[in-house]
Structure 1
Amino acid sequence: MSQPIISFNHITKKIADETILEDVSFDIEEGKFYTLLGPSGCGKTTILRAIAGFTDVDQGDILFGEKRINEVPANRRQVNTVFQDYALFPHMNVFDNVAFGLKIKKVAKDKIKETVYEALRLVQLAGYEMREISEMSGGQRQRVAIARAIVNKPKVLLLDEPLSALDLKLRTDMQYELRDLQKRLGITFIFVTHDQEEALAMSDQIFVMNQGKIMQKGTPVAIYDEPINHFVDDFVGESNIIDGTMIEDNLVEMVGERFTCVDGGMRVNEPVEVVIRPEDLKLTSVEQGKLSVSVDTQLFRGVHYEIITSDRQGNEWMVHSTKKAVEGSQVGLSFEPEDIHVMRFNETEKDFDSRLESYE
């Protein structure tokens, strides 16, 4: 790994007696799309503000490259922020909004014009230079805010839930546009959201946060397929989480039966939580299934049916299937050993990594 562009080393932030960030450490590599994902109040916006210089921290070091920037004022940091409400000037047209920062820096007029036009081209707003902000749609206003941020050529672009006010279709379109823009610019994006689908779709790396701590860091695939604890699993995607017992490596017991799995490195007969994603469960006949369940309800979700079933012990199983089920019928559920994910109770990322290393 090359020198990180941003590092948080044991950062703690408190307001009165409330801990907002607790001993947070991470590295940000240059040229990647990072997402801080978590519920409201988990500390993700505080991290963004600390990077931007809008919030002081109580303990720890923030590094930009190899330089400590804790005391560096916001206007001297090589970052720009796109806020949730875009913070555009309603009395200025598109050109003047985008050019505002350059004018403050007293850049030459010819250079301002060239830079603004290039930024608007990058965000697909060429020809909108004289348009009033009041005449722009939500998606267009967001692109103006991004253009205004990138004209200063920051090394890092911070985005604080910039898609939250958009309708569903526009929000999806803007996800593609933001991801494409980040690749074309080649600069580091740090994106804040509480929407797990958004995070999975856009990110190179996701930091899942809760109560001022980073629960898990990793790629979208790793976060989704290998959640380290109940919070991460429950927050990222739909899951079936069942209490079980790890009999031995590669053998887990749940709902009174034993199943082959691919997990290990735990204690013999250790109580665990067993996770199977709804899309990994296949509806079969009772005879062919590994579990027998009754179909309680189902909803059509467009690309699949969301089917709620229950076993004889009262455990609820959600199934995503392209096949329609019959409510009240008995069916079987089939799954592969690779579909089973076993989690220790309240395991931290550090403990999880240590266990995998020792097991491998």
Structure 2
Amino acid sequence: MKTLALPFVVVCLLASIAAVLLLPTGVQVWAMASSMVCILLIPSTSRPVSTALAARLRLLVGLGIGLGALSVALIVGGVQFWPNHDSERVVGLSVWPMLLGVAIGYTPFLSRNLNRARADIEASSAATPAPVPLARVRGEVAAAFHLLLDERGAVGWIAGPWFLIFCALPLAFLDVGLLTRFSHQYPLVALLLLILFLIAWGALPLIASIQWARHIAAGQRPKLFEVPVGPLWGFLWRLFLAGVVLRMIGAAEPWLQSQLPGAPAWMVSGLSGLFSLLVLVAVSPWAMVLVAVALGSEDRSTHSALRAASGTGSGFYLGMLLILAPITLLWWLVGLAPAAQGQGLGAWLGYFVSALAVFLTLIVATTYLTRLYLNRLAATGAAATP
């Protein structure tokens, strides 16, 4: 079966490329995501393949940068065309080279991590610590919530400023008419400003999470408005690569609406929220990589992060389910409120409540993951000590 892995991935990659070029727009988005995933799967097919890719780091990174530059040129060249035409397909094809470039540029680094992980597995003879009992995992979740209350002063100092900015940024969209006129007069500038806005808006909760993880590990408060540039960049590009999962979550509700045309809105929204919750819980072990990045760990490989999460067994998923379920329920209830629609006071209140829930959930999840990560490192070190 291993000998067929590479041909199978290559065939899937060619099929996804053909789908992007030939099939309708609705399928095109999924095909672009599939082509990106196929490229990232190539190093895992065999050790010789990953070794060859790791040895060609400069070539592959250069190719990735070139594809990114091509994508930017296509976007800049077509920005005058998009506002006046129904051109989702043109937009997708313009962004697609950038997605391929990111995947290709990351492939040699992924190959290095895979080779290191394979070597660790072969060389490791230390006893693996026993999985953490479920009762202890529930205790870790309870401790994370208790720490949120017990250190509310530190939470306010670390996360408060970023939360306030997070709430204030959408005020820029109060005058929709002005924004519409500006985007028609200066489409390229409007596009660049929108991209910068989305990056800044998404980075604010990540900054709070990084600083809180460091506070848990070192017990020291950071300076007010201190931005951890290195870890933040590590978060952003990893989450960009995880866009396939985010796209899957975002497309759940429209797909359910098409499959259940007569279902009430509350049921479709609830099923979509449940699907999103299950997907996030399923991929949550990869969040250990972000903990390693936040703490500045030298070993930031996916293999080490998954080993840290696997030490708790199925209890890890239970803990993440207990943490993420409340905000999923809250979002469902806020979405059902008629006043939460539009731009009225109710909508802004709903946004404020949702933003507060995001930051608090992120703080609790970061506490839970960081404590498990540090405990796992300590247990692994003790097990390896003769």
TM over 0.5: no
**Under a length normalisation based on structure 2, what TM-score does the superposition of the two structures give?**
0.23
More helix by share: 2
**Under a length normalisation based on structure 1, what TM-score does the superposition of the two structures give?**
0.24
Larger radius of gyration: 1
Q: With a CA cutoff of 8 Å and minimum separation of 6, indicate the structure with the bigger relative contact order.
A: 2
